[in-house]
Structure 1
Amino acid sequence: MNTRVFLTTTRRPQASRQTPRLRLLPFELFPSLVIHATEYGERGACFSLIIFADMDNPLINYLQLFTPLPEEDKVLLTDAFEPHSFKEGEALFRGGAICREMFFICKGVLRILASNAKGAEVTHYFLSENTFCTILNSFNNNVPAEETIEAACGTEVLVIAKTRLLSLYNKITYLQALVNQITQQKLLDKIQTRNAYLGQDALTRYRLFMMRQPDIALRVPLKDVASYLEITPQSLSRIRKKV
């Protein structure tokens, strides 16, 4: 953990509009992620101590691949997203309601599923690390979703409610455009991958799946793979013996 300490000094707010002076001080380790303490001296001087700790946050690490993040924005992001863990088969969101949360996958695999006309479960997509996940139409337009989000294996995510995300967009002005850009590109990638299976026989679909998504294939149950490839588990077992 890399920790940095910022010390700002100015007059008492009601006595002066002076802009605080900021200087970087070397420091060792602190037990808290963020500490913000303010003290007024005898002559009205204000001393503010702000400690930022660069934690190993997968979301921050991922966003920094696209743009540098100021320390203040890292703190806001860390505070806004809450970590949660889900076991295999556990639902993060169930269809039939409005999806009001967005998830960022730190570890594991999520699957988006729904029921077809015959009532059978169909897996639309698998999503793995460094991916935002929500039911986009429901999330954006406040309409009930047919799809369910489920952990396809043990999964760790960061969660944020829509109301809190909108508030965060107001505080970090570039964030909404960045998140939209990332989610739209990921959606196009998912559609492109899914379309590659269209018109192929079961054996070819499985081979393409192993080539395009090997990280998924090794971590999720075979029944979920069969659902995704639109074949029966029995057929998938026979196909795997041939490959």
Structure 2
Amino acid sequence: MEQLINYLLQFGHFNQQQIELIRSKFTSKTIKKDEYYHEAGKVVREVIFLTEGIMRVCYYSNKGDEVTKYFFEENCFIADMNSLDLGIPAVEYIQAVTDCTYLVISKSGLEELSMTIIGWDQIVAKITFKGMADKVNRISPMMVDDAKERYLKFLDSFPVLANRVPLSYLASYLGITQSSLSRIRRKITEK
């Protein structure tokens, strides 16, 4: 729970009573490697804060290929905000890449914090903006770089993550085949 509180304190200030209220709204849960936290077609009714492990957001292309869109490491909020806010089915899956521990808060819990803590909505807006900026920064290089450059930038930006996710997920995220990724990795290590 301290990870969550420390993360939130980067975006605003809370008194002890507010911190206790925040703690009371979150519950700790675990999920095993390869299990789906959320599936496409279902409405999101909660937000999670990942405290340990890696999750990924993925979808299936119109050809039936599984595509990894994002990876999330510790100290990240994860939610499909369109589904949560609008009550519409999500279009993506969220899967545990490793065994994970996370904190969860319901939509009604979030609404109660919004009505009780002055400035809560501004803090949520700052966190949401940071999450959107992070996504853009991850996706933009993917549009213009070749496969080797995308992999090298991934290694530079996420040095630990590259060794924590299966090659198939990483290749999918980079938009290349697993065999191409293996060739790129081999060429880099030969130098």
Q: Structure 1 CA distance, aligned partners of 2:104 and 2:87? A: 18
Matched, 1:122 2:96: no
Match of 2:37 in 1: 92
**Match 2:173 to one of 228, 235, 238:** 228
Runs of 4+ in 1 over 6 A off after TM superposition: none
For residue 160 of structure 2, the aligned residue among 215, 225, 228 is 215
List per-residue Cα deviations over 1:31-67 (Å, max 9, x = no partner): xxxxxxxxxxxxxxxxxxxxxxxxx611111112232
Unmatched tracts of structure 2, length 5 or more: none
User: Identity over the aligned pairs, expressed in percent?
Assistant: 37
Which structure is higher in RCO with an 8 Å CA cutoff and minimum separation 6?
2
Structure 1 residue 200 corresponds to structure 2 residue 145: yes
Matches within 5 A, 1:94-109: 94-109=39-54
TM-score with structure 1 setting the length: 0.74
| Distance (Å, rounded) in 2 between the aligned partners of 1:99 and 1:189 | 21
Q: Which has the higher strand share?
A: 1
**Matching residue's letter, 1:134:** A
Per the TM alignment, residue 194 of structure 1 is displaced from its structure 2 partner at its CA by: 1.1
Structural mapping, 1:1-243, within 5 Å: 57-243=2-188
C-alpha distance in structure 2 between counterparts of 1:215 and 1:183, whole Å: 24
Distance in 2 between residues matched to 1:183 and 1:153, nearest whole Å: 24
**Alignment partners' CA distance in 1, 2:46 and 2:23:** 16
Q: Name the counterpart of 1:29.
A: none
Give the number of aligned pairs.
Answer: 188
Whose helix proportion is higher, 1 or 2?
2
Aligned-partner Cα distance in 2 for 1:77–1:218: 34
What code does the residue aligned with 1:171 have?
T
Query: How far did residue 173 of structure 1 move?
Result: 2.5
- Alignment check: 8 A CA contact 1:197 1:208 kept: no
Aligned partners of 2:153 and 2:169: how far apart in 1?
A: 16
Q: Secondary structure at the match of 2:56?
A: strand
Gapped runs of 5+ residues in structure 1?
A: 1-55
Partner SS state of residue 83, structure 1: strand
How far apart in 2 are the matches of 1:176 and 1:215? 33
Deviation at 1:87, TM superposition (A): 1.7
Query: 1:95 aligns to what SS in structure 2?
Result: coil
Aligned residue for 1:42? none
Contact kept? 2:29, 2:101, Cα under 8 Å: yes
**Matched residue of 1:145: which SS?**
coil
TM-score (norm 2): 0.93
Query: What's the offset of the Cα at 1:84?
Result: 0.9
What RMSD in Å do the two structures reach over aligned CA positions? 1.3
**Structure 1 CA distance, aligned partners of 2:11 and 2:90?**
30
Q: CA deviation at 1:218?
A: 1.9
Cα displacement (A) at 1:123: 0.8
Shift of 1:142: 1.0
